[in-house]
Structure 1
């Protein structure tokens, strides 16, 4: 059983929705439905039982376009009671986020619906993203959550892997499927596992080329094929 105190230090109402967790309706964190929005300066206490293990997320369900666009989100990992269930040697977690930030500014356009230009992993962009360092022979799990406005086909070089978990729960071994790229839908999490038996430095990236490039301005003119 968990008890979580949420104090609102924003200038507006907020809530916290526990994405994928099974809990009482009053704890689900949808402002005006589950409970009134948490007013500025006030504290709301969420309390519920963790009924299943897996990888889940949390984010506001109040003024979502502003609050989520400013990065208010995170992951909620519930470990199995049995320490040998789905045991791995290294366990990594990646939260995908997107922003619309004009070149030379620091504040994102919070009402953007589709025209994002900055794609982050755990709020960082390459080359500031930490590498996933493992030892040869390690069994590795990578959990990827997507709270952006588009899907992300995450591709890993040098390996194939098996998809072992979604935010709905663990995938039975008989139903796990092999991939080299796994598409992470909007509002979803996918976890995959592999044995690190190939030495080397390998890339991992979203296979949408403009996400790989990153930091692309919207108003850059087309100069290819023009004369000076």
Structure 2
């Protein structure tokens, strides 16, 4: 198995997930900043491993498999922490939309890959915009949302940052639905053709 620098960065991102969880619940006033910093560093490694892979042609099958897994794990865990820290119906709904779409699109890509049509569901521009909005939203919310226990003082500009993150998460969730529909529309003719060939 080939371990390239991008693969090591991806593994580092996965190892940062339990660190994020532990830091989020620490009873210190600086942990909101630390949690946001950990997530920010993880997001940077996500960009960096892709850049290094493209720039220096350091590709590997294991890295191609692991990278999207690491991304989805980090986003899902961050959403779970945010919902636990701010358990409102809307926050839970946006989180469910984002996680549900990731599961559905992952299943769709796997099925299309079995048909040799994975390129039909490649990442579109709307998906990239969604990712940026989502990452900034999670960064803001991890900074401004704190768990009920132990009690901590509100972070500096916590309410302003929360409002920005809240709106961006809603936008990201709506873009998630939009891009999910776009993936499905691209795959639908192939799915129909496969169904006809089956019979």
Q: State TM-score, norm by structure 2.
A: 0.35
Of Structure 1 and Structure 2, which has the larger fraction of its residues in helix?
2
Q: State TM-score, norm by structure 1.
A: 0.32
Greater gyration radius: 1
User: Taking CA–CA contacts closer than 8 Å with sequence separation of 6 or more, which of the two structures ends up with the larger relative contact order?
Assistant: 2
Of Structure 1 and Structure 2, which has the larger fraction of its residues in strand?
1
